[in-house]
Amino acid sequence: MKPRERFLKAIRREEADRVPQLVRPGKEVSQRLSGIFGVSGHELGIRIGNDAIVCQVGINAIMEMAKADLKEGETFTSEWGVVYQRQSGFDNPIEHPLKTREDLKTYVFPDPNAPRRLDEVREVMKKYHKRYGVIVDLSSSLFEPSMAHLRGMENFLMDCYDDPAWAGSLLDGLADYYSQLGTRAIEAGVDVVRIGDDIGVQTGMLIPQDLWRELVRPRMKRMIQTFKKANKEIVILYHSCGDFSPVIPDLIEIGVEFLSTMQPVGKMDLARIKKEFGDRVAFKGGLDTQQLLPNGSPQQVREGVKDIIKTLAPGGGYVFMPAHMLYQDVPTENIWAMLEAVKDYGRYPLKF
């Protein structure tokens, strides 16, 4: 079975020959694995057994993927006007373009239709789509970029209370931008559109679910409707870190059919979620990256992979992935143990 077929079956909640895999190494792990395999970028993902490819085109791409040669403490400014600084290997936003709410009046969003913006997507489609699934990643999409990139966390969280209409107009600007960008990617033929918007923390939602329903949900719904208009078969993937379980029913209502990252924290009881929503959504992620992968033994990692497959993969509807990218705290032997366990335990029919 071709990787793409396996991936598509899984996201349509059918059992393929085995559980497909999409493991995403962060910057340092990419370098480590490239040193071993002699390949990098998308080729590296394929080499470690991935069945799909992710093209990051959203505001986070700048933060997570670019500037490999930046040194600790160095900064750069993105086309959104955000200043990032390399801190402990991550490029973190340290200066935000919307210093006051007034600044939004004159703020110019980047052009979603800029000619070269989707070059990578088109290239990936040409080179890999026959064999591999392709996800276009619009992270971060609405709430998260407002908070983390454009306005600053403390400012935006308070804006939502002080001036919700203003917060709404910033979210509208982002929804417009991503609606167009996502539509262009769908026209290029991608299989999945990934909306990423962190609203969860370790213990529960970062913001009250009512606030999310009032401010974020209608804009996300509008984006999804636009995408479905461009291709009614398009699968919408939604990602949030942390516990976002209170809004899973909302996400399903507005057209999300694929959920990631399924971090096992707070009230994210994965068995319950699979049981309750597994007939309407597929899942990706779930393997703990906070304790198990960095601090566990290879044997514990194997057990962890087995558990997660046992919980989320029955009946299809699961793409294996750790609950986040792999960062520099994960030992190489745990990566091998994880990849091996996916092959050992992920074959359908599952035997447990």
Partner 1 sequence: MDIMKQIEENIIAGKFKETEGLVKTALEQGKSPNEIITDALSKGIDEVGRRFKCDEYFLPEVMTCARAMSTALATLKPHFTTEKKTTIGTFLIGTVEGDLHDIGKNIVSMMMEASGFTVYDLGIDVKPEVFIREIREKSPDLVGISALLTMTMPAQRDTIKAIEAAGLRDKVKILVGGAPIDQRWADEIGADGYAEDAVECVEKSKVLLGLGR
83 binds partner 1 (CB under 8 A): no
Please select the residue that binds partner 1; options are 34, 40, 231, 290, rule is CB under 8 A: 290
Q: By three-state DSSP, how is residue 225 classified?
A: helix
Q: At closest approach, how far in Å is the CB of 153 from partner 1? A: 5
| CB 156 to partner 1: min, Å | 9
Instruction: Look at residues 257, 190, 176 and name the one whose alpha carbon lies nearest to residue 223.
Output: 176
β-strand partners of 193: 136, 236
Bond from prior residue into 261 cis (ω within 30 degrees of 0):
yes
Stretch near partner 1 under the rule CB under 8 A, chosen from 117-125, 149-157, 178-186, 219-227: 149-157
- Which residues between 315 and 344 bind partner 1 (CB under 8 A)? 328-329
- Both tokens of 165, joined, read 């209409």
Contacts of 121 (CB under 8 A, 6+ apart): 55, 57, 134, 136, 185, 188, 190
207 lies in the binding site for partner 1 (CB under 8 A): yes
Q: For residue 349, count other CB atoms closer than 10 A to its CB.
A: 6
In the structure encoding, which two tokens stand for residue 326, read together? 């792999």
In angstroms, give the least distance from the CB of 338 to partner 1: 17
For 138, 199, 248, the CA distances from 276, given in Å and listed in that order, are 27, 21, 10
The nearer residue to partner 1, 43 or 269, going by C-beta atoms, is 269
161 scored as a contact of partner 1 (CB under 8 A): yes
Token reading at 280: 């309407």
**Could you tell me the smallest distance in angstroms from the CB atom of residue 21 to partner 1?**
24
Contact range with partner 1 by CB under 8 A, out of 37-45, 52-60, 83-91, 178-186? 83-91
Q: Return the range that interacts with partner 1 (CB under 8 A); candidates 135-143, 198-206, 225-233, 272-280.
A: 198-206
Per rule CB under 8 A, is residue 104 in the interface with partner 1?
no
Out of 153, 188, 325, 350, point to the residue binding partner 1 (CB under 8 A): 153
Nearer to partner 1, 155 or 231 (CB): 155
Cα(312)–Cα(263) distance, rounded to whole angstroms?
Answer: 13
Would you count residue 88 as binding partner 1 (CB under 8 A)?
yes
Nearer to partner 1, 38 or 164 (CB): 164
Please report, for the chain, how many H helices and E strands are present, in that order. Answer: 15, 10
Matching residue, tokens 């990578």? 120
CA distances from 294 to 138, 268, 269, 301 (A): 28, 21, 22, 10
Residue 19 or 160 having the CB closest to partner 1: 160
Size of the site for partner 1 (CB under 8 A): 26
Position among 37, 74, 75, 92 found at the interface with partner 1 (CB under 8 A): 92
- Tell whether residue 171 is a contact of partner 1 (CB under 8 A): no
Whether the Cβ atoms of residue 193 and residue 258 lie closer than 8 Å to each other = no
Determine the interface stretch with partner 1 among 30-38, 86-94, 131-139, 182-190 (rule: CB under 8 A).
86-94
Contacts with 17 (C-beta within 8 Å, 6 or more apart), sequence order = 1, 6, 347, 348
Of 226 and 290, CB closest to partner 1: 290
Output the CA angle 265-50-3, nearest 5 degrees.
Answer: 120
| Residues lying near partner 1 in the complex (CB under 8 A) | 85, 87-89, 92, 153-154, 157-158, 160-162, 201-208, 211, 290, 294-295, 328-329
